[in-house]
Chains A and B, each alone.
Chain A
Amino acid sequence: MPGMTRRDFLKIAVLAGAAPSLLAGCAGEGDKHEVNFFNWSTYIAKDTLPRFSLETGIVVNYSVFSDEEEMFAKLRSGALGYDLIVATDYMIPRLKALNLIDPYPTGALKNTGDIDPKFRNTPYDPDNAYTVPYLWGTTGIGFNKKHISKRPTSWWDLWDPKYKGKISMLDNARDCVGIALLMKGCPQTTDSDAAFKAAEQLLISQKPLLKQYSSSTYVDSLINGEVYLAMAWSGDVIQAARENPELDYVIPKEGSYIWVDNMCLVKGSRHRADTLRLVDYLIEGKVAAEIANFVRYGSPNAAAKPYLDKSLLDDPRVFPPPSVLKKLQFYAILPPDLAQTWIDTWSDVKAA
């Protein structure tokens, strides 16, 4: 913490203490230095935000979600006062269409030049106007080696009756319906009713084998043996595996999805200048590396590379080798009615 004095510390303590009252009575007052940040759960290093507050005097009110559709529903119902959200690539066109996010003002960020060109000019944001990439990762299978003798290699292992009651699935349409379509050999952009019916049947047939649908607590379940196998997001498992070496992660041979999460400015946010300062901070090479080292997801930031742990860089689960990479696909940008079909299919699976 460079240049932190006792006085600074007191200032932060006071700011932190005053945060709730600021939130309560700040209608229209843009001069309070704070940012309301809505992010995925377990998706930031422990001391990133406290350090930012110490350095800048800006209070960050941090809240988390574990289902992106719910994040979207909250944002859409409005009036929650979030300034900055993290949203996955496929969500961006929807957020834009409903006018829920603002473009970044040109030249407002110093550090965007450090972002790996691979993550710029993407199909979901061709002009780099609305998004700044935060982290990327993959969807695969997390498992506990203590309880299963054979490493899972296929998505079908999540349908193996041998593990009845010991399987967990992510609780969202994109991953579950997406993988079911993939297992049935249907393209992601299919609009065939038969394909969705087949995917739905496949997911329903799995329900008797499942312990839970969970996007947040499944890692704990893997650790304590509540479940042996879980459809999982790479970093979630790999970060827990540091303390629990029995945990491991694999991308199944049928292939899977790769995704990029992005920082977006919420429409009508009252703390724009502070928010931009936070975004700029989070994409500083050193800070981005610190986050990636902690959460074990890939950083889209080229300037972060020198600061990344060697163990992270050498980890094929985090940075898949080309042979695996070619089996990974990005989420397609679906037209609204097709996106709704995915959600309806998932809804019917949950209700069945």
Chain B
Amino acid sequence: MPPGKDALPPGGRWARISRPVRSKAKKFLAWLFSGKSEKASHLLILPASFWLSFFLVIPIVLLLVLSLAQRGPYGTVIWHPTLDNFRRAFTPLYIPIVARTLLYCGAAAVICLLLGYPTAYFLSFYAGEWRDTFLILLMIPFWTSALVSIYSWIIILGRDGLMNSVLTGIGLLHTPLDVLNTPFSVILGLVYFYLPFMILPLYSSLEKIPKQYMEASYDLGAGAFQTFLKVTLPLSLPGVFAGFILTFVPCLGDFLTAEFLGGPRTYLIGNLIENQFLMAQDWPFGAALTAVLLGAMLVGLYYYQKLEAAEIA
């Protein structure tokens, strides 16, 4: 077809592009997605690298620089390098907060595991054709704003709330329970927010177990419980570890839950950091605390990976 005609040729706009350009573009795409060229792989990773450098690496570098600065009057920042902020981060004043955070996050992760394992097991082995529906239902809380969820919990747990009126209504309680603003309500909130992060990796690792393994176990005379204990559970351990990390680590930085569902004595590391930036206007100290938390998480993840590698070997 000669170029320059107004009507679109068969094959649409693509066909209007001259043949050499077309073939070059095709070749380029074939090369890009061939999975063989190293240069192509560099090109493919480019957008993600830009994203990570601008929104992760550079902010973290800025944070580290800020953590070495000093606080000026009215919350301004004085660029005079010092390690004081880090020294302050390790004063005994903050030990109870660290201990409390580890306790709450650990408890939340364990409860997530206890609730998540049966759920994931059900999804993998029993849900059948309903599985996709259940998975979507699991994701719905994610699509709700965190603040809306938190306020709903305040309404549910309050003294005049849903929980208390039901419990007193059916005669289980005489006086309403004060559960709001307690460690219980904070851990409950954490479990609620991070449960899907436990269920999904568990589900995907249970799903991957070939059914033949269990059949073989039954053939060799093992009962259902023994099969679970000796075959299914060990094979799902990577999911257990992944789920634990994915719930425990983000919990460590959570501040919204404790802010809204907690009380004066449920102050967590996340609240301490948030308060440095907003209330106390001590950005350098807030940055130092964040750096310490981030460092601790990285060390933890490094040992976790080593452990996992040893497990596989």
Q: Are A347 and B264 in contact (CB under 8 A)?
A: no
| Docked complex Cα distance between A350 and B96 (Å) | 12
Q: Which of B144-181 contact A (CB under 8 A)?
A: 154, 158-160, 178, 180-181
Q: Are A352 and B280 in contact (CB under 8 A)?
A: no
Contact of A352 among B93, B159, B181, B275 (CB under 8 A): B93
| Docked complex Cα distance between A72 and B180 (Å) | 29
| Docked complex Cα distance between A212 and B159 (Å) | 14
| Docked complex Cα distance between A70 and B274 (Å) | 10
| Docked complex Cα distance between A226 and B263 (Å) | 12
Contact of A347 among B73, B74, B158, B279 (CB under 8 A): B279
Instruction: Give the residues in chain A near B73, CB-CB below 8 Å.
Output: 97, 336-337, 340
Q: Are A348 and B279 in contact (CB under 8 A)?
A: no
Least Cβ–Cβ distance between B45 and chain A, in angstroms: 32
| Docked complex Cα distance between A165 and B181 (Å) | 10
Q: Are B160 and A224 in contact (CB under 8 A)?
A: yes
Q: Are A94 and B74 in contact (CB under 8 A)?
A: yes
Q: Are B76 and A98 in contact (CB under 8 A)?
A: yes
Please tell me if B281 contacts chain A, counting CB pairs below 8 Å.
yes
| Docked complex Cα distance between A70 and B263 (Å) | 19
Least Cβ–Cβ distance between B137 and chain A, in angstroms: 30
Please tell me if A67 contacts chain B, counting CB pairs below 8 Å.
yes
CB within 8 Å for A343 and B159 given contacts A76-B75, A336-B73 = no
| Docked complex Cα distance between A197 and B304 (Å) | 43
Q: Are A212 and B263 in contact (CB under 8 A)?
A: yes
Please tell me if B126 contacts chain A, counting CB pairs below 8 Å.
no
Q: Are A348 and B93 in contact (CB under 8 A)?
A: yes
Least Cβ–Cβ distance between A123 and chain B, in angstroms: 18
Q: Are B264 and A212 in contact (CB under 8 A)?
A: yes
Of B71, B154, B271, B279, most buried by chain A (CB within 10 Å of CB) is B279
Contact of B278 among A69, A169, A173, A213 (CB under 8 A): A69
| Docked complex Cα distance between A213 and B93 (Å) | 20
Chain B interface residue count, CB cutoff 8 Å, equals 29
Least Cβ–Cβ distance between B85 and chain A, in angstroms: 14
| Docked complex Cα distance between A343 and B73 (Å) | 12
Q: Are A67 and B279 in contact (CB under 8 A)?
A: yes
Instruction: Give the residues in chain A near B180, CB-CB below 8 Å.
Output: 226
Instruction: Give the residues in chain B near A217, CB-CB below 8 Å.
Output: 154
Please tell me if A113 contacts chain B, counting CB pairs below 8 Å.
no
Instruction: Give the residues in chain A near B160, CB-CB below 8 Å.
Output: 224-225
Q: Are A225 and B159 in contact (CB under 8 A)?
A: yes
CB nearest neighbor in A for B73: A336
Instruction: Give the residues in chain B near A173, CB-CB below 8 Å.
Output: 279
Instruction: Give the residues in chain B near A267, CB-CB below 8 Å.
Output: none
Please tell me if B94 contacts chain A, counting CB pairs below 8 Å.
yes
Instruction: Give the residues in chain A near B86, CB-CB below 8 Å.
Output: none
Please tell me if B131 contacts chain A, counting CB pairs below 8 Å.
no
CB within 8 Å for A70 and B97 given contacts A97-B74, A207-B264, A224-B158 = no
Please tell me if A161 contacts chain B, counting CB pairs below 8 Å.
no
Q: Which of A293-352 contact B (CB under 8 A)?
A: 336-337, 339-340, 343-344, 346-348, 350-352
Instruction: Give the residues in chain A near B159, CB-CB below 8 Å.
Output: 224-226
Of B93, B178, B271, B276, most buried by chain A (CB within 10 Å of CB) is B178
CB nearest neighbor in A for B265: A207
Please tell me if B272 contacts chain A, counting CB pairs below 8 Å.
yes
Q: Which of A215-230 contact B (CB under 8 A)?
A: 217, 224-226
The proximity string for A residues 46-88 relative to B, scoring 1 for CB distances below 8 Å and 0 otherwise, is 0000000000000000000001011011001000000000000
Please tell me if A208 contacts chain B, counting CB pairs below 8 Å.
yes
Instruction: Give the residues in chain B near A94, CB-CB below 8 Å.
Output: 74
Of B74, B94, B264, B282, most buried by chain A (CB within 10 Å of CB) is B264
Instruction: Give the residues in chain B near A352, CB-CB below 8 Å.
Output: 93
Query: Residues on A close to B: CB < 8 A?
Result: 67, 69-70, 72-73, 76, 94, 97-98, 165, 169, 172-173, 207-208, 210-213, 217, 224-226, 336-337, 339-340, 343-344, 346-348, 350-352
Would you give 22 A-B contacts (Cβ < 8 Å), ordered by A? A67-B279, A69-B280, A70-B278, A72-B75, A73-B279, A165-B178, A169-B264, A207-B264, A210-B264, A224-B158, A225-B159, A225-B160, A226-B159, A226-B178, A226-B180, A337-B73, A339-B74, A343-B280, A343-B281, A346-B279, A347-B280, A350-B267
The 4 closest A-B pairs by CB, nearest first: A336-B73, A224-B160, A210-B264, A347-B280
With A76-B281, A347-B279 already in contact, 19 other A-B pairs whose C-beta atoms are closer than 8 Å:
A70-B278, A70-B279, A72-B75, A73-B75, A73-B279, A98-B74, A210-B263, A210-B265, A211-B181, A212-B263, A217-B154, A225-B159, A226-B158, A340-B73, A340-B74, A346-B280, A347-B280, A350-B264, A350-B279
